[in-house]
Amino acid sequence: MASGVHMPEPQCLIENINGRLAVNPKALKLLSAIKQPLVVVAIVGLYRTGKSYLMNKLAGKNKGFSVGSTVQSHTKGIWMWCVPHPRKPDHTLVLLDTEGLGDVEKGDKKNDTQIFVLALLLSSTFVYNTMNKIDQRAIDLLHYVAELATWLQTVSSTDADEVSGPEDSVSNCPDLVWTLRDFFLDLEVNGHPITTDEYLENSLRPKPGADKSLQNFNLPRQCIQKFFPTKKCFIFDSPTHRKKLAQLETLHDDDLEPDFVQQVAEFCSYIFSHSKSKTLPEGSKANGSHLERVVLTYVKAISSGDLPCVENTVLALAQVKNSAAMKTAIAHYDQLMGQNLHLPTETLQELLDLHRICKKVAIEVFVMNSFKDVDHGFQKKLETLLEAKQNELHERNLKTSLDRCSSLLQVIFEPLEEEVKQGFYSIPGGHRLFMQRREELKAVYYQVPWKGLQAEEALRKYLQSKESMNVTIFQTDLALTQREKEMEEARLQAEAVNFKVQVLAAILTQQHQMMEQRQRFYQEQVRRMEINRLHQQVLQQRAQERYLQEEAKRIQERAQAENKRLQDELEHLQINDSNDDKCIIL
């Protein structure tokens, strides 16, 4: 055996101390040292039914596991014997012999159940050892324990490498080998012989029909069929005369019934050839350290009270089965909601409508898989859990909507934030431009679909988170606007002064021009007056000249006339006294 592990005799792996299971550190250390893949074969059944004898034969020994010869149970807890696998090189065969069920001295069904479940979970091949025949009691007990094992696998998922969840439970279930001791029935149906495997299959075959009694009949069979994909049945005659059973460990094969010897040999051969390795959920083979963690995990879970404890098997089955039905219904609800719910929803009613439909289907699934749900207690609990699921989905819907809207707002308003960083709005009147731009982006945000219920709340929170930016732009706008007003007033004042100066200059220019014009006009007038004067003077001179000329002419004419008169007079005087008249005239 690898790593020097040597077990010449069995070791107690799980101690049963006053009804409480505890791991034996010494045996656990031996187990953890095994580096080879393990083939784990566990046997469970009523006490005093020859379980230990079969396990010794698997170990290749006549002695090892305690084989009692009295009505008192010898094996307590779970005993382990690790031996080299006879047909699989580099594999270790781990044999687990369990405390017999139904010990009247113990009187603790809870403790029996714990050992049964633990052996089932640890094994890769599970040997169910019963007496005489397959009956309803044995089927109900196996069903009950299989349900508990599934339950415990679910609640003990603390080690993802070793303990499988519900989705891995079937792939990690052990093979079932049902052994029937002191079998006395004829293997035939309707007069035709059948094999032991056919006998087992017939015993586990559900009956057709939808009647409630048939459902109760079929339920454990369906569970066992599902839990154990591979099943095998062996029958054993009585090994020898009852009086020799006390010395069974010391008897040779020649001292036993030949049929029994042959049956044991076939049993061992099948176990050696067909028993599979213990595997982890992901499919790899488990070694000693892996199985060590499995042992610790399940013993801890059982000790903590996770395993349902009900004295009445039917009630316990109802508790386990209905709990499993609840899980199935919830899983169905989760699947339907996951397929049809697209978060975020636009309205709350959309979520509520889908929840109502999926809840109805989940309850139908529960009712179909439930078992004796008295007073509909489990169904009411399921409805409460589904309402909690609805509230959880509502909260997730709100969060999804808020997250989506927040991301959307960041994308949509990123250009605005970049413009603010670049000082685009740090101008007089910038706040008005900022608000106008923000309204434009809000309109873009409103047009995007599938924002969900938190669209307004997300927008409000975003705008609230950017309020400081809004205030800063507003204050900057006020400061710049006031400065611009002051600058405008100064500009206007300067323009007014400049205008006044220009007006005054224009007036002065105009006045100057007018003065120049007046001066020119005056000079022109003076010139014209001078010209007029000169002209008048010329005219006067000309007039005077004309006058003088005319006077001269008139004088001349008068003179001529006078001369003529005088001439005439002279001539007259000359006639009379020309000399005297001439003197008078002079």
13: pLDDT strictly greater than 60? yes
Which residue has tokens 């052996």?
119
pLDDT digits (tens, 9 = 90+) for 104-124: 455 456 778 888 899 999 999
User: Is the domain of 247 the same as that of 342?
Assistant: no
| pLDDT at 40 > cutoff 90 | yes
Among 437, 457, 488, the domain boundary falls at 488
Helix (H) or strand (E) holding 202: helix 196-203
294 and 426, same structural domain? Answer: no
CATH code for position 192: 3.40.50.300
DSSP 354-421: HHHHHHHHHHHHHHHH----GGGHHHHHHHHHHHHHHHHHHHHHHHHHHHHHHHHHHHHHHHHHHHHH
Among 14-18, 243-247, 340-344, the range with the most confident prediction by mean pLDDT is 340-344
Amino acid code (one letter) for 458: A
Q: Which of 441, 468, 488 is the last residue of a domain?
A: 488
In this predicted structure, the answer to whether residue 339 has a pLDDT above a threshold of 60 is: yes
Ramachandran category for residue 132: left, alpha or beta (phi over 0 → left; psi -120 to 50 → alpha): left
Domain coverage including residue 465: 308-488
Residue 554 lies in a domain: no
Same domain, 293 and 323: no
On whether both 283 and 333 belong to a single domain, the answer is: no
The residues with which 42 forms a beta bridge, in sequence order, are 96, 126
Distance, CA of 390 to CA of 351 (rounded, Å):
8
For the cut 70, the answer to whether the pLDDT of residue 79 exceeds it is yes
Q: For residue 309, name the pLDDT band (cuts at 50, 70, 90).
A: low
**268 and 351 share a domain?**
no
Q: If pLDDT is split at 50, 70 and 90, which confidence band does 430 have?
A: confident
Mean pLDDT of 194-220: 87
**For residue 233, which phi and psi values (nearest 5 degrees)?**
-130, 135
Gyration radius (Cα) of the chain, Å? 64
pTM exceeds cut of 0.85: no
Cα–Cα distance, 289 to 403 (Å, whole number): 45
pLDDT in tens, 518-547: 777 777 777 777 777 777 777 777 777 777
* Three-state SS at 308: coil
| CB-based contact 459:423 (threshold 8 Å) | no
Residue 121 corresponds to which tokens in the numbers above? 């979970």
Tens-digit pLDDT profile for residues 181-200: 888 888 888 888 999 999 99
Domain endpoint, select from 292, 307, 322: 307
Which run of H or of E encompasses 481? Answer: helix 467-573
With cut-offs at 50, 70 and 90, classify the pLDDT of residue 388: very high
The reported pLDDT for the residue numbered 581 is 53
Q: Measuring CA to CA, how many Å separate 496 from each of 38, 425, 503, 505, 532?
A: 106, 31, 10, 13, 50
Q: What is the pLDDT of residue 423?
A: 86
**523 domain-assigned:** no
Give the number of domains in the chain.
2
Whether residue 277 is found in the same domain as residue 237: yes
Q: Residue 325 belongs to a domain with what CATH number?
A: 1.20.1000.10
pLDDT in tens, 447-505: 998 888 889 999 999 899 888 888 888 888 787 777 676 666 677 777 777 777 777 77
Same domain, 283 and 339: no
Whether residues 216 and 321 share a domain: the answer is no
Query: Residue 213 corresponds to which tokens in the numbers above?
Result: 């009694």
Structure tokens at 539: 């005219």
Please report the pLDDT score of residue 129 as a whole number: 92
Q: Where are the alpha helices (DSSP H) in 60-177?
A: 109-122, 136-155
pLDDT higher than threshold 50 for residue 311? no
The pLDDT value recorded for residue 565 is 73
At residue 287, does pLDDT exceed 80? Answer: yes
Whether 236 contacts 183, CB under 8 Å: yes
String of DSSP letters for 241-289:
-GGGGGGTTT--GGGS-HHHHHHHHHHHHHHHHHPPPPB-TTSPBP-HH
Reply yes or no on whether the pLDDT at 256 is more than 70.
Answer: yes
230 with 358, same domain?
no
Whether the link from the prior residue into 344 is cis, omega within 30° of 0, is yes
Other beta carbons less than 10 A from residue 439's beta carbon: 9
Shared domain for 267 and 294, answered yes or no, is yes
Instruction: Name beta bridge partners: 80.
Output: 11, 96
**Rounded Cα gap, residues 289 and 30, in angstroms:** 10
SS3 for 307? Answer: coil
Q: How far are the Cα atoms of 55, 259, 479, 531 from residue 255, in angstroms, in the given order?
A: 19, 12, 115, 182
- Neighbouring CB atoms inside 10 A of 156's CB total 23
CA–CA separation, 6 and 31 (whole Å)? 10
Closest CA to 40 of 4, 81, 1, 75: 81
Same structural domain for residues 348 and 452? Answer: yes
Burial class (CB in 10 A: 0-12, 13-18, 19+), 580: exposed
Residue 215 has pLDDT above 60, yes or no: yes
